[in-house]
A and B are shown apart, each in its own frame.
Chain A
Amino acid sequence: MLVIGIDGATWKVINPNLRSLPTFESLKKEADCSTIVLNQKPWSPSVWCSMFSGKTPEEHGHRDFVENGRIVKREDIPVQFIWDLLHVHGISVAVLNVPFVIPPYSFNVRFEPVAHGLPIEEHELLEEIQAVTSKALEILENDKPELLIVVYTALDRLSHLHWGEPILVDYYKKIDAALGKLLSYDEEFIIISDHGFCAYDEAPIRTLPKRTPKGEIKGDHHPEAILITKNISCVIKQPEDVFYCLKEKFLG
């Protein structure tokens, strides 16, 4: 089974560009596509943490990449993630580049995140998509785990500074091509984003400053995330449901 996370992916970009996104276009026809409206703040560290721990932000307590001037690490978060739980029960699970912390977290996989999981420059964005895809394909080809969880961060990083620009659609196309490759390995999958995106001035919840040392922030996080599933029987209404969905699937 595959769980593919796409940080910051939104239907706002996918739907108007379906003709140049063939994988998404076919998923719209063949898979179950919906929108998750987050109950929690659309903020990557806490949403990814909820998704794979089954806990709300109030329960897991993980709010930011940096707390009190210190970069938060996995061991600072006192939860058992789905991969911890499945692993102790003998389920083979591989986890690649999950950005609830920086650098993003991998489990049972040796992977060095591109630009520490914060690709900003164009060559880094490209490199991340290539490196994550290549590693995921290697895992699917050789290790064949019962569950692979893999996350791309590039669209989120790009949306902060380039929302509304044609370059963003170009990178959706690259993610679309990567999805096509990964999905050829499994007919049972969840594709999910941690939040959506929108023009900065249209954000219903302000999560980012207007200006940063890198320039103007053009997009802000939006509480509507994407969800695409195929051959998944459980109902996913919030990120934490993914944990229970995987638990039910593998442990009953």
Chain B
Amino acid sequence: MEGKASRTINIPESLYQKIKEQIKGTEFSSVEDYVIFVLEEILKEEDELETSLSPEEEELVKERLKGLGYL
């Protein structure tokens, strides 16, 4: 991590190894990048819930996608 103040947090070695295996072949270049990404996604959940579609809105979206020929 560069360019940002940071803190060190310890995680269990077994978890570290599991993540290291999981990110092989992905865009994540380090366990740290992956952990930060996942934590931020979780913290964003509240905002996303607010913007998630109701069943009625989902139907409206599908109707419009059909109208445009996307569905």
Contact = CB atoms under 8 A, between A and B. Distances in A.
Nearest to B33: A88
Interface string B29-71: 0001100110011000001000101000110111111111111
B37 A118 contact: no
Contact of B65 (A75, A84, A112, A118): A118
A96 to B, nearest CB: 13
A5 B40 CA distance: 25
Nearest to B3: A90
A103 B71 contact: no
Q: Which one of B26, B60, B61, B69 has the highest number of Cβ atoms from chain A below 10 Å of its Cβ?
A: B69
B21 to A, nearest CB: 15
B11 interface: no
A120 B51 CA distance: 20
Contacts, number: 83
A26 interface: no
Interface residues of B, number: 30
A79 B68 contact: no
A58 to B, nearest CB: 14
B41 A75 contact: yes
17 contacts: A65-B65, A66-B71, A71-B58, A78-B26, A84-B37, A88-B33, A89-B1, A103-B51, A103-B53, A116-B57, A118-B64, A118-B65, A207-B69, A212-B67, A212-B68, A214-B67, A214-B68
Interface of B: 1-4, 26-28, 32-33, 36-37, 40-41, 47, 51, 53, 57-58, 60-71
Given A71-B58, A118-B65, A214-B66, 11 more contacts: A54-B27, A64-B70, A65-B65, A80-B27, A84-B37, A88-B37, A88-B40, A102-B61, A116-B61, A118-B64, A213-B67
Interface of A: 44, 53-54, 64-66, 71, 75, 78-80, 84-85, 87-91, 102-103, 110, 112, 115-116, 118, 120, 157, 160-161, 207-209, 212-214, 217
